[in-house]
Amino acid sequence: MKLLALYNRVNVITTIIVMLITGILYYVAISWILNGQNDKALKVEEDEIFDYVKLNHQLPQVFDSKDQQISFTEAPANSVKRGFINTRYRKDKNDYEPGRGLVSSVTVNGKYYKILIVESKVETEDLIQIIFSITIGVILFLLLVLLIANRLILNRLWQPFYVILKELKLFNITDNQEIPQIATNIEEFSELNQAATIMTSRAKHDYKDLKTFTENASHELLTPIAVINSKLDSLIQTENFSEKQSKLLTDLYTAVSKLSKLNQSLLLLVKIENRLLTDQQNINLHLLIEEMLAHLEDIFLDKQITITAQLNNKEIVANNYLIEILLNNLIINAVRHNYAGGQIVIDLTADNLIIKNTGGSTPLPEEQIFTRFHKSSGSDGSGLGLTISKQICDNFNFSLSYQFNSPYHTFIVTF
């Protein structure tokens, strides 16, 4: 829920409740005051009756007045209790209005009479109604004004917040872009801005440290690997190995070769992420793929893999070295995870490059295959090939995706 919506909801509900309570209090108070006035008028009338009776020792003549009706009825002595009542006021024969009445008693010449004085309350009610409608009108108007004001104020006040939010969304740890300082007088937002700037620059700093570490570590590893490699090369010159020893040496070679490739891949990843390989050329993908396929022909033949390539002309501007690595990785993967006698289909169009290969019968986990050191079971690769491929694609704003359409595992580079 948006802050504005929540804020408005709270605001409207409290305003309505407060206004309702005020309205009720208002109504009660006004009713009370007006009733009091009515009652006073009734009492004045009563007093007049008493005065008249005292003076004349008889009941006064009853006139039909405009808003008061008085009636006397004989009643048993002391049977009437004095008090105000809400009753009806008969305007015409069958037309009643709400009224306020005073019940009292008087003794004239030894006879006991009940007095009922009724006054119409129509005007009072009208007044209350007018006051009440004005109140409701004010409430509605106030609500409207509040809503509009909230919208304007909130949108404006929260502008810096949305700017910071947008910057945070765009934040990429590998970019050199910093979160900019936002001009705002609101302390909370400038604090948020500062916190975001500090946090992101710290994250970048840590990330850079980590990358430097990876790079340095890989560099430092190169020399010992080079020594092992050269010592192995020297060792096999010393002849007279038993079969067991040559097997051991072959295994050592394989392991060192893997170690060295792993190391190279790590260095390459750091370089791509640091965008150190910046020079770009026009690359004719059609030619490059054909060259590559010719180069790898032995390997296809060895595994009896059939290659079907449909290559249209496509030129891209990119780093030649990286594109070669990308193509090499994808094609070698298509071979490595293939079975003997399998197929590889390569389609190059103006929009994308599709490399399909037969292989395992179950789809690969799409979210994981591009992460570092993810390897399918039985793979002897470094687990970095697809990570590097993905990084290369990201680097040139291409996208790399995977699909499984039985029996083909499909990798698509979209330009």
Partner 1 sequence: MKLLIIEDEEGLRESIEEYFTEAGNICETAATYQAAIAKIELYRYDCILLDITLPGGNGISILKKLKENNYTDGVLIISARNSLDDRLEGLDLGADDYLVKPFHLSELKARVSAIIRRKMYNGSNLLLFNEINIDLQAKTVVIFDKPVKFTRKEFALLIYFIANKGKVISKNAIAEHLWGDGIDMADNFDFIYSHIKNIRKKLMEAGGNDYIQAAYGMGYKFTDK
Span near partner 1 by CB under 8 A; candidates 52-60, 68-76, 156-164, 261-269 = 261-269
User: Is 185 among the residues that bind partner 1 (CB under 8 A)?
Assistant: no
Helices (H), 285-344: 285-295, 297-302, 320-336
Give the relative orientation of helices 187-235 and 159-170 as an angle to the nearest 10 degrees. 10
Determine the Cα–Cα distance for residues 390 and 399; give it in Å rounded to an integer: 8
User: Is 236 among the residues that bind partner 1 (CB under 8 A)?
Assistant: yes
User: Is 247 among the residues that bind partner 1 (CB under 8 A)?
Assistant: yes
CB of 166 to partner 1, least distance (A): 36
Start-to-end C-alpha separation, the chain: 38
User: Is 114 among the residues that bind partner 1 (CB under 8 A)?
Assistant: no
Determine the Cα–Cα distance for residues 218 and 276; give it in Å rounded to an integer: 16
DSSP state letter for 92: S
By CB under 8 A, name the one of 102, 179, 325, 369 that touches partner 1.
Answer: 325
Q: Of the two residues 102 and 325, which places its CB atom closer to partner 1 in the complex?
A: 325
Which tokens belong to 323? 């594109």
User: Is 293 among the residues that bind partner 1 (CB under 8 A)?
Assistant: no
Phi, psi of 40, deg, nearest 5: -60, -45
Span near partner 1 by CB under 8 A; candidates 64-72, 136-144, 320-328, 390-398 = 320-328
CB of 253 to partner 1, least distance (A): 5
At a CB cut-off of 8 Å and minimum separation 6, what does 241 contact? 249
Span near partner 1 by CB under 8 A; candidates 48-56, 108-116, 308-316, 317-325 = 317-325
User: Is 277 among the residues that bind partner 1 (CB under 8 A)?
Assistant: yes
Q: b or e along 158-191 (b: 16 or more beta carbons within 10 Å of the residue's beta carbon)?
A: eebbebbeebeeebeebeeeebeebebeeeebbe
By CB under 8 A, name the one of 231, 287, 304, 363 that touches partner 1.
Answer: 231
Q: Cβ distance 409 to 399 under 8 Å? A: no
User: Is 230 among the residues that bind partner 1 (CB under 8 A)?
Assistant: yes
Determine the Cα–Cα distance for residues 95 and 218; give it in Å rounded to an integer: 104
> CA-CA distances (angstroms) from residue 250 to 231, 245, 302, 382?
13, 9, 20, 19
- What is the CA 318 to chain-centroid distance, rounded? 37
User: Is 376 among the residues that bind partner 1 (CB under 8 A)?
Assistant: no
Q: Of the two residues 135 and 320, which places its CB atom closer to partner 1 in the complex?
A: 320
Phi, psi of 253, deg, nearest 5: -55, -45
DSSP one-letter string for 135-201: HHHHHHHHHHHHHHHHHHHHHHHTHHHHHHHHHHHH--TTS-PPPPP-----HHHHHHHHHHHHHHH
Q: Of the two residues 104 and 265, which places its CB atom closer to partner 1 in the complex?
A: 265
Span near partner 1 by CB under 8 A; candidates 39-47, 74-82, 224-232, 404-412 = 224-232
User: Is 267 among the residues that bind partner 1 (CB under 8 A)?
Assistant: yes
- Other Cβ atoms closer than 10 A to 193: 22
User: Is 223 among the residues that bind partner 1 (CB under 8 A)?
Assistant: yes
Q: Of the two residues 32 and 241, which places its CB atom closer to partner 1 in the complex?
A: 241
Span near partner 1 by CB under 8 A; candidates 65-73, 96-104, 201-209, 249-257 = 249-257
Q: Of the two residues 279 and 367, which places its CB atom closer to partner 1 in the complex?
A: 279
User: Is 105 among the residues that bind partner 1 (CB under 8 A)?
Assistant: no
Q: Of the two residues 367 and 380, which places its CB atom closer to partner 1 in the complex?
A: 380
Using CB under 8 A as the criterion, what x/- string covers residues 327-366 for binding partner 1? -xx--x--xx------------------------------
User: Is 270 among the residues that bind partner 1 (CB under 8 A)?
Assistant: no
Determine the Cα–Cα distance for residues 108 and 236; give it in Å rounded to an integer: 147
Determine the Cα–Cα distance for residues 248 and 192; give it in Å rounded to an integer: 61
Q: Of the two residues 12 and 225, which places its CB atom closer to partner 1 in the complex?
A: 225
CB of 272 to partner 1, least distance (A): 12
By CB under 8 A, name the one of 74, 78, 380, 397 that touches partner 1.
Answer: 380
- Give how many residues touch partner 1 by CB under 8 A: 54
Q: Which residues form the interface with partner 1 (CB under 8 A)?
A: 219, 222-223, 225-234, 236-237, 239, 241, 243, 245-247, 249-250, 253-254, 256-258, 260-261, 264, 267-268, 271, 276-277, 279, 295-296, 298-299, 301-302, 321, 324-325, 328-329, 332, 335-336, 380-382
